[in-house]
């Protein structure tokens, strides 16, 4: 196997010998857990564009990656924060992305997808009212459902800015949920992913905020398929999971503790909707195949090495985790370049990429070590590391 010299966190260089990629079992859904991978987008690096204000998406490669996820039995969570929604991908681009993916899904038997609907076309500001937020949510929900899509109801920066109390959240969600055709997945995205969402549900105390979210869900349980919480705190997820109405799923958004959340305990388990499933998709497919046979030992054997990788990708500032996701896609040949919407390939250091490379290898997730080493060397050269 090839060897490469990589930077260390101590500022030195050290040789690293890659290992053979791990082979994961493949199985056909349905799995014992619902699993959505929040997928990234591929930019067209040769198009004339402003990559932050008006990025040009490579639709062929972007859709091809969704087909790859479906081929592994995973559902796709479309136009979410992994796709840089609200961080370079605006509502116009998100709507086009949803349409392209829905068109592709119709050709894939058994494929599933849910798409983000939010208020990101409404700029938060002092003049934005609760009624403005409701109208913005309704516009996006209607657009997704008109295309034949299912909704993931995204957290709203505009609502976080405009709300004055938990009652404002209850009013907004009651109105929006009353108008949807199919049950939605509510997404509670924590401030570690988006600082503008600090104090969501009307409180900076997550447990108090949880009370408000649960009240909304209980009052509209027939319109809620599940709730995805992204707080990176397994104790809070379990606490909320145990209080959900019967029939409402908990979708783990905990990119630090997903293995134990999915495995569950004597009182229940979480399904999954995760950004980390994008770069570790083959391992997820293998782990879910093991669960089909109630083989928890193999499930944990597969996922345990991916957790240190995920914790590294999602380290603070957590909102830049997309850089690691796209880096992995490039290393594994899903795209020919490491260029991102908003130029966010620059959001992490070369030491970060080197450690990510090592952890991906330890998890058996460098599909072709020779290719991965060649591409890593080209990135090192850009950073002046011979």
**Does residue 243 fall inside a structural domain?**
yes
**Does residue 249 fall inside a structural domain?**
yes
What pLDDT, on the 0 to 100 scale, is given for residue 372?
98
pTM, full prediction: 0.96
Q: Sign of dihedral through CA atoms 186, 162, 239, 174?
A: negative
Residue 54 has pLDDT above 90, yes or no: no
Residue 154 in tokens: 């995204």
C-alpha distances (whole Å) from 278 to each of 35, 189, 229, 248, 350 are: 11, 18, 18, 24, 21
φ/ψ of residue 266, rounded to 5: -65, -15
**Which residue reads 């850089």 in tokens?**
323
**Does residue 8 fall inside a structural domain?**
no
Alpha helices in the chain (DSSP H): 59-71, 91-105, 130-146, 157-162, 166-179, 206-219, 234-241, 258-263, 281-292, 296-303, 306-313, 321-331, 350-362, 369-382
**Does residue 1 fall inside a structural domain?**
no
Residue 262 has pLDDT above 90, yes or no: yes
What pLDDT, on the 0 to 100 scale, is given for residue 55?
87
215 touches 245 (CB < 8 A): no
**Does residue 192 fall inside a structural domain?**
yes
pLDDT one-digit tens code per residue, 196-243: 999 999 999 999 999 999 999 999 999 999 999 999 999 999 999 999
What pLDDT, on the 0 to 100 scale, is given for residue 9?
87
pLDDT one-digit tens code per residue, 76-120: 999 999 999 988 999 999 999 999 999 999 999 999 999 999 999
Percent of the chain beyond pLDDT 90?
A: 94
What confidence category does residue 72 fall into, taking pLDDT thresholds of 50, 70 and 90? very high
How many structural domains does the chain have? 1
**Does residue 18 fall inside a structural domain?**
no
What pLDDT, on the 0 to 100 scale, is given for residue 110?
94
**CATH code at 210?**
3.20.20.70
Query: What is residue 269's DSSP assignment?
Result: -
Q: CA triplet 120, 315, 372: central angle to 5 degrees? A: 100
What confidence category does residue 276 fall into, taking pLDDT thresholds of 50, 70 and 90? very high
**Does residue 15 fall inside a structural domain?**
no
**Does residue 16 fall inside a structural domain?**
no
**What is the average pLDDT value for the chain, to the nearest integer?**
96
Q: Which domain holds residue 70?
A: 23-382
**Strand 113-117 to 151-153 pairing:** parallel
Residue 317 has pLDDT above 90, yes or no: yes
Kindly write down the DSSP assignment for every residue of 293-348, as one continuous string. Answer: TT-HHHHHHHHTTHHHHHHHHTPSSGGGHHHHHHHHHHHTTSSS----GGGGGGSS
């Amino acid at each position: 196997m090839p060897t490469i010299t990589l930077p260390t966190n101590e500022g030195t260089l050290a040789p690293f010998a890659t290992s053979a990629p791990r082979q994961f079992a493949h199985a056909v859904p349905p799995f014992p857990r619902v699993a959505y991978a929040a997928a990234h987008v591929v930019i067209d690096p040769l198009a004339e564009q402003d990559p932050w204000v008006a990025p040009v998406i490579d639709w062929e490669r972007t859709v091809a990656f969704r087909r790859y996820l479906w081929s592994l039995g995973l559902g796709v969570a479309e136009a979410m924060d992994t796709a840089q929604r609200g961080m370079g991908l605006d509502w116009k681009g998100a709507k086009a992305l949803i349409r392209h993916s829905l068109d592709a899904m119709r050709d894939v038997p058994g494929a599933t997808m849910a798409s983000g609907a939010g208020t990101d076309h409404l700029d938060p500001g002092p003049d934005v009212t609760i009624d403005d937020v409701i109208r913005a949510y309704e516009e996006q929900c209607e657009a997704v459902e008109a295309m034949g899509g299912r909704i993931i109801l995204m957290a709203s920066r505009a609502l976080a800015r405009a709300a004055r109390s938990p009652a404002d959240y209850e009013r907004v969600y009651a109105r929006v949920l009353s108008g949807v055709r199919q049950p939605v997945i509510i997404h509670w995205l924590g401030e570690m992913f988006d600082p503008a969402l600090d104090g969501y549900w009307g409180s900076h105390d997550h447990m108090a905020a949880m009370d408000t979210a649960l009240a909304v869900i209980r009052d509209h349980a027939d319109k809620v398929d599940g709730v995805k919480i992204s707080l990176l705190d397994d104790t809070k997820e379990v606490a909320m999971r145990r209080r959900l109405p019967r029939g409402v799923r908990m979708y783990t958004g905990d990119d630090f503790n997903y293995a134990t959340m999915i495995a569950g305990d004597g009182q229940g388990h979480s399904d999954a909707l995760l950004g980390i499933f994008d770069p570790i998709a083959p391992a997820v497919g293998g782990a879910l195949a093991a669960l089909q046979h109630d083989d928890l030992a193999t499930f944990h054997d597969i996922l345990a090495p991916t957790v240190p990788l995920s914790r590294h990708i999602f380290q603070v500032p957590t909102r830049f985790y997309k850089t690691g996701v796209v880096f992995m896609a490039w290393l594994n040949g899903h795209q020919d370049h490491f260029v991102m919407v908003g130029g966010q390939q620059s959001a992490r250091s070369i030491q970060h990429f080197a450690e990510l490379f090592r952890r991906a290898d330890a998890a058996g997730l460098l599909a072709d070590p020779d290719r991965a080493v060649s591409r890593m060397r080209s990135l090192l050269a850009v950073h002046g590391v011979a």
